[in-house]
Amino acid sequence: MLKVFIDWYLGALDAGGYWLVGLLMAIESSVVPLPSELVVPPAAHLAVTTGRMSLGGIVVAGTVGSWVGASAMYWAARLLGRPLLLRFGRYLLVTPDKIAAAERWSLRFGPYGVFAARLLPVIRHLIGVPAGVVRMHYGWYSAVTLAGAAVWTAVLCAVGVAAGQDAALLAGDMHRVTLWLAAALGVLGLLYWALVHRFMRAH
């Protein structure tokens, strides 16, 4: 399944370019579980090896796409309110526990928490919910979302460039693909445990 998606994506990038990167990153920043780790690194590799896109353009596309998706989450939460999210959010994989955890994070850290959340797994695509519910100033929310998304997309671009130097990976060796993904998920898991999970347990 993973290889099928990657093969489709690499082929679609020729036609979709920056627009496709932005669209998928917008989806990733909503409730759809589409890992950004599968979106940006392949695009960055294609940019370096073919020159059909630039790394700067990918960062911009990924950042703007993330902001669009995060804004949709923010306004949905702000306009619909917490009760509707608690009642129907679970059908979109937004469970009450996740909402409560994201709310505690948002109330404790405010706009700085939104910036940090853009760099963390699990909470990254949910942070717009509490921000909207508590009616955080949209200008501040947008600014820190754009900043955090830009940093995260740049990091993923660097990962894509590094991965592009792995010949076995480029040859479609699924064992090597698994190793790269496991390493990435391991680092993200450590960040989540150190910065989010311990905080949630303490509060």
**Mean pLDDT score, 72-98:** 75
Distance from C-alpha of 33 to C-alpha of 50, rounded to nearest angstrom: 29
Q: Which pTM was predicted? A: 0.75
Distance from C-alpha of 168 to C-alpha of 152, rounded to nearest angstrom: 26
**Mean pLDDT score, 4-16:** 81
Residue 16 has pLDDT above 50, yes or no: yes
What pLDDT, in 10s, does the model give residues 150-200? 988 998 888 887 766 654 454 444 444 445 555 655 655 565 555 554 444
Residue 121 has pLDDT above 70, yes or no: no
Query: Which pLDDT belongs to residue 97?
Result: 75
Distance from C-alpha of 121 to C-alpha of 29, rounded to nearest angstrom: 11
**Mean pLDDT score, 55-81:** 91
The tokens describing 131, both together, are: 């921000």
Closest CA to 126 of 92, 159, 172: 92
In the chain, the percentage of residues whose pLDDT exceeds 90 is 22
The answer for residues whose C-beta is within 8 angstroms of residue 40's C-beta and 6 or more apart is 21, 25, 58, 62, 153, 156, 157, 159, 160
Tell me the pLDDT band of 57, cut-offs 50, 70 and 90. very high
Closest CA to 28 of 56, 58, 63: 63
Query: Which pLDDT belongs to residue 93?
Result: 62
Query: Which pLDDT belongs to residue 141?
Result: 93
Query: Which pLDDT belongs to residue 181?
Result: 55
In the chain, the percentage of residues whose pLDDT exceeds 70 is 68
Residue 137 has pLDDT above 80, yes or no: yes
Query: Which pLDDT belongs to residue 179?
Result: 54
Q: To the nearest whole number, what is the mean pLDDT of the chain?
A: 76
- Which of 24-28, 139-143, 174-178 has the lowest average pLDDT? 174-178
Query: Which pLDDT belongs to residue 76?
Result: 86
